[in-house]
């Protein structure tokens, strides 16, 4: 069990959507919550509405994330839960993407998580009470779909880093765990992600609003940020690696795994040899 009550918890992307839902649930579970976000106006509003501390951060900037960690530790003395959640979710076919399209998505979604781990892991490891890193990936890390090339690449990276970090921390006997959040559809501000996009050459990457699509609007596939917050708090409490928000998506994951299994079994194996036999 990871203790939440009284623990200092930082949530990036906490001004809106899933981050706000996680911050609310952590606050309700008794954590001292700090939300961090690039969007100053939304950050100030949400911090006031939730009654939590707000600190501006740009997760794509290593120095900005380090300054966040320094400020939190200077103010509170320790940190126990870090939720690397800030992200952007526009879509576009790979053939249409500019390099700046790729860079923006990877900078925020993948480097943002790397920066969070780099800046906060030493503090979590130094915390005698231990701690937890929570990374927000996506269903697209289980099932990469067309139009989500940059997004799925970033989220697959977050998935892999989280698995490796969890295994390394367990090997090291560290009192720090990892939770990976893999949402499907959640009603948030993700459909207007480009509001936070810095300057650069814009290619075929555009915001998509799945919730406005009549064929999806009427499908009961959506969760609220509050639902996700509850699921994440449950996963933290129970030291779960996966915080699965949309278990109904399991058949799609199994279908992909079936394809991988079939590829492994398609041809008779070439008998592996020793180094000496090959040299």
Ligand X SMILES: NC(=O)c1ccc[n+]([C@@H]2O[C@H](COP(=O)([O-])OP(=O)(O)OC[C@H]3O[C@@H](n4cnc5c(N)ncnc54)[C@H](O)[C@@H]3O)[C@@H](O)[C@H]2O)c1
Under rule CB under 6 A, residue 39 binds ligand X:
yes
Tell me, by CB under 6 A, how many residues bind ligand X: 31
Residues 238-277 that bind ligand X (CB under 6 A): none
Could you say whether residue 17 binds ligand X (CB under 6 A)? Answer: yes
Decide if residue 188 touches ligand X (CB under 6 A): yes
Instruction: Give yes or no for residue 177 binding ligand X (CB under 6 A).
Output: no
57 binds ligand X (CB under 6 A): yes
The answer to whether 24 and 50 have CB atoms below 8 angstroms apart is: yes
List 189, 205, 231, 244, residue binding ligand X (CB under 6 A)? 189
In terms of CB distance, is 177 or 189 closer to ligand X? Answer: 189
Among 2, 9, 11, 12, binds ligand X (CB under 6 A): 12
Query: Out of 26, 32, 37, 110, which residue is the one contacting ligand X (CB under 6 A)?
Result: 37
Binding mask 64-103 for ligand X (x = CB under 6 A): ---------------------xxxxx--------------
Which residue, 199 or 278, has its beta carbon nearer to ligand X? 199
Residues 132-151 that bind ligand X (CB under 6 A): 136, 138
- Judged by beta carbon, residue 17 or residue 149, the one nearer ligand X is 17
DSSP sequence for the chain: ----TT-EEEEETTTSHHHHHHHHHHHHTT-EEEEEES-HHHHHHHHHHHT-EEEE--TT-HHHHHHHHHHHHHHHS---EEEE------BB-GGG--HHHHHHHHIIIIIHHHHHHHHHHHHHHH-TT-EEEEEE--GGGTS--TTBHHHHHHHHHHHHHHHHHHHHHHHTT-SEEEEEE----B-SSGGGGGGGPPSS---S-B---GGG-HHHHTSS--B-HHHHHHHHHHHHHTT-SEE-S-GGGHHHHHHHHHHHHHHHHSSPPPPP--HHHH-
Is 242 among the residues known to form the active site? Answer: no
The binding site for ligand X (CB under 6 A) comprises: 12-13, 15-19, 37-39, 42, 57-60, 85-89, 108, 136, 138, 183, 185-186, 188-190, 193, 196
* Residues taking part in catalysis: 151
């Amino acid at each position: 069990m990871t203790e939440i009550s009284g623990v200092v918890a930082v949530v990036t992307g906490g001004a809106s959507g899933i981050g706000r839902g996680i911050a609310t649930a952590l606050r309700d579970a008794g954590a001292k919550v700090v939300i961090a976000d690039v969007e100053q106006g939304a950050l100030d509003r949400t911090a006031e509405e939730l009654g939590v501390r707000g600190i501006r951060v740009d997760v794509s900037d290593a120095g900005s994330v380090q300054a966040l960690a320094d400020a939190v530790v200077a103010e509170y003395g320790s940190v126990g839960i870090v939720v690397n959640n800030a992200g952007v979710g526009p879509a576009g076919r790979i053939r249409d993407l500019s390099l700046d399209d790729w860079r923006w998505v990877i900078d925020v979604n993948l480097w943002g998580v790397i920066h969070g781990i780099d800046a906060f892991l030493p503090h979590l490891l130094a915390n005698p009470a231990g701690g937890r890193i929570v990374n927000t990936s996506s269903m697209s890390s289980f099932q990469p779909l067309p139009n989500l090339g940059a997004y799925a690449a970033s989220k697959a990276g977050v998935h892999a880093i989280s698995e490796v970090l969890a295994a390394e921390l367990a090997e090291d006997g560290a009192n720090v765990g990892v939770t990976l959040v893999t949402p499907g559809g959640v009603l948030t501000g993700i459909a207007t992600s480009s509001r936070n996009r810095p300057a650069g050459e814009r290619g075929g990457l555009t915001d998509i609003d799945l919730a406005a699509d009549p064929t999806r609007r009427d499908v009961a596939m959506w969760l609220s940020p509050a639902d996700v917050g509850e699921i994440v708090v449950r996963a933290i409490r129970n030291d779960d690696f996966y915080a699965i928000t949309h278990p109904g998506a399991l058949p799609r994951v199994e279908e992909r795994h079936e394809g991988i299994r079939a590829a492994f079994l398609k041809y008779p194996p070439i008998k592996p040899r020793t180094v000496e036999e090959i040299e």
